[in-house]
Structure 1
């Protein structure tokens, strides 16, 4: 009898201990979540202590640890997570049909789901997401980013088109063929950031951690050409998109890796770094994208003026625009609408009120840069 009482007492003690540990873990995760939300309100604090303090060292460690692996570990992680979610959904549906969906099971499942979401939230923001709250490149370069007039936009677009046409006349098929090499593409990204870091040391990028996405073909249907995995520090590039867009995508993803989370800033950083690269194909990719963003802003205000710009394009640019249009139409899908809708909400939740339209806001950064450094330096 005494033996049974001892066992019962031990079980009760273990149960109490487990509950205490669970409560402490919950408390730690909740407190960290609240701290992240509160600190996110102080952009200067985030800039000085996280974005230029903790994060560069942390991300360097991740890239050093995983950058040498030839495939994307982050993609494997996402694939594993997708499988787990599907399995859990199937199990839940089976329980419903078998009438095994009890109140206790529902409460336990909800508790587990909420805890999982909180853990992901904390890990995401500590490992990278706090960069959404930083002051950013406009602060670092003292750029006065503000709304622009149609006249200013016209001047900017004209300069971008002139540069684009010049590069279109120089780019060779050999250079384009070279961009099909993933190794060469990622080397180009590294070289661009090594070059820009001479002028701006805070943009130093090493070691390299760029991977071709295993979801590239899925990305064509969902509408993404690259992404950064904050849980592994890897930059994924969709290597099935038109070859002339790949350098820009690579420079953009590296921008995320060095701490520029907002899409307008990542686009601007892609421009700033890519224009330093000696390869004509790399620079062409940059000005091709910047011109597209800029002329689209004109199109929204003055369709006739936008049409006039098209008449002045180099034949190579026109061919590339057509190729990109055909590619986009080939992979149009309902899935893309849903995926981009979710992504739009994600961006809005992370200090980008314009959502997916924030990509186009790079035009304001370009105009601010032009005004500060002059037309000749665009």
Structure 2
């Protein structure tokens, strides 16, 4: 009995400490994001990165099996009228204990990064509201990049069918970036194809990070030109950039540093989509004028992506989208799923500080 009480006290103490500590972004940045987390994440990648399959995906599968089994047993006991007040109190206590374990483990292993200062602080960027003119200036540079990369990015696109080329390419991109910005140093690679890639097409995800195993998983069934930026985005999560706009910006900085034209094309392709979302809402004519400057090949890629998304659209995806949006809001991202698009504000801030050649 005393062991259970001790475990409860330890977990409650850790949970309270985590909650209070998270209120101080400077401390989180210094002691957790730049201190404890890099060590624990490297240990995770050393332990599991060498395995050819995703340990985290297997872990999730076991959890789902356990939940189904527990639900089945509970329903059977209810039907057979084998439950009483004591049973439900014990079940509630067990559930509370599990929630505490998950909360503490999640935050210690990665989740505290949601409360750090982050990449804007590291790069000295002033992220603020931007004008339509600022947005158009940035998008014009993105269009220039896309036009220049259209042909080179198609030379060896099928090479990404070998996933090792994709993952090695993303690692090399971060190596290039780290030569200028040391905080993006990525060692002990642990990026793998998701075991649930086809399921991801129906649930609407292209990749995800597993904080319990330190692995980055990529949906390798989506169009090839999407995968490089997704991979760089997930490595951004591994480096401790938890918020989606930050992971997108880390993915942008790394992919644009790549010597592979397809990686650079992939990131500008996504950035144009994110930017166009906001510009079209303000000035649809300006957005269409920029669209007209894109070469036929890029327009073909956009059509392919739209058809791919349309093919797998289903009611469950809408539910998952809503739940995931709520998860993001609960983790210091009030914009929900639009947080991904907020990378545009970071891009404008980067443009203002370093000029158009930096885009």
Same fold by TM-score, threshold 0.5 exceeded? Answer: yes
Number of the residue aligned with 1:13: none
In structure 2, how many angstroms separate the alpha carbons of the residues matched to 1:91 and 1:29?
27
Number of the residue aligned with 2:211: 230
Is 1:315 the counterpart of 2:296? The answer is: yes
Number of the residue aligned with 1:306: 287
1:277 CA displacement: 0.6
The 8 Å contact of residues 169 and 314 in structure 1, kept in 2 or not, is answered as no
What's the CA shift string for 1:167-201, capped at 9, x where partnerless? Answer: 0132234x210111100000011101111111111
Number of the residue aligned with 1:246: 227
Q: Which of these residues, 168, 172, 182, is aligned with residue 201 of structure 1? A: 182
Is 1:143 the counterpart of 2:150? The answer is: no
What's the CA shift string for 1:334-360, capped at 9, x where partnerless? Answer: 111111111111100110000111000
What's the CA shift string for 1:196-229, capped at 9, x where partnerless? Answer: 1111111111100001000111111001110000
In structure 1, how many angstroms separate the alpha carbons of the residues matched to 2:163 and 2:17?
40
Q: Which of these residues, 32, 35, 57, is aligned with residue 50 of structure 1? A: 32
In structure 2, how many angstroms separate the alpha carbons of the residues matched to 1:299 and 1:82?
41
SS at match of 1:266: helix
In structure 1, how many angstroms separate the alpha carbons of the residues matched to 2:121 and 2:107?
21
In structure 1, how many angstroms separate the alpha carbons of the residues matched to 2:152 and 2:3?
66
What's the CA shift string for 1:284-316, capped at 9, x where partnerless? Answer: 001101111111110111112212221111111
Number of the residue aligned with 1:216: 197
Is 1:32 the counterpart of 2:1? The answer is: no
What's the CA shift string for 1:149-183, capped at 9, x where partnerless? Answer: 1111111111111111110132234x210111100
SS at match of 1:171: helix
In structure 2, how many angstroms separate the alpha carbons of the residues matched to 1:23 and 1:57?
30
1:101 CA displacement: 2.1
Number of the residue aligned with 2:47: 65
Number of the residue aligned with 1:166: 148
In structure 2, how many angstroms separate the alpha carbons of the residues matched to 1:105 and 1:86?
19
In structure 2, how many angstroms separate the alpha carbons of the residues matched to 1:101 and 1:323?
54
Find the structure with the greater CA-based Rg: 1
In structure 1, how many angstroms separate the alpha carbons of the residues matched to 2:71 and 2:236?
36
Q: Which of these residues, 69, 81, 106, is aligned with residue 63 of structure 2? A: 81
Number of the residue aligned with 2:259: 278
In structure 2, how many angstroms separate the alpha carbons of the residues matched to 1:56 and 1:186?
20
1:20 CA displacement: 1.3
**Relative to structure 2, which stretch is displaced further, 154-163 or 258-267?**
154-163
What's the CA shift string for 1:252-310, capped at 9, x where partnerless? Answer: 00000011000000001100011111111111001101111111110111112212221
SS at match of 2:217: strand
In structure 2, how many angstroms separate the alpha carbons of the residues matched to 1:101 and 1:327?
48
What's the CA shift string for 1:119-167, capped at 9, x where partnerless? Answer: 0000000000000000000000000000101111111111111111110
Structure 2 stretches of 5 or more lacking a match?
Answer: none
Number of the residue aligned with 1:344: 325
With normalisation by structure 1, the TM-score equals: 0.94
SS at match of 1:236: strand
Matched residues, number: 359
With normalisation by structure 2, the TM-score equals: 0.99
Is 1:294 the counterpart of 2:275? The answer is: yes
1:100 CA displacement: 1.3
1:81 CA displacement: 0.2
Structure 1 stretches of 5 or more lacking a match?
Answer: 1-18
SS at match of 2:161: coil
Number of the residue aligned with 2:2: 20
The 8 Å contact of residues 211 and 237 in structure 1, kept in 2 or not, is answered as yes
Q: Which of these residues, 324, 338, 355, is aligned with residue 305 of structure 2? A: 324
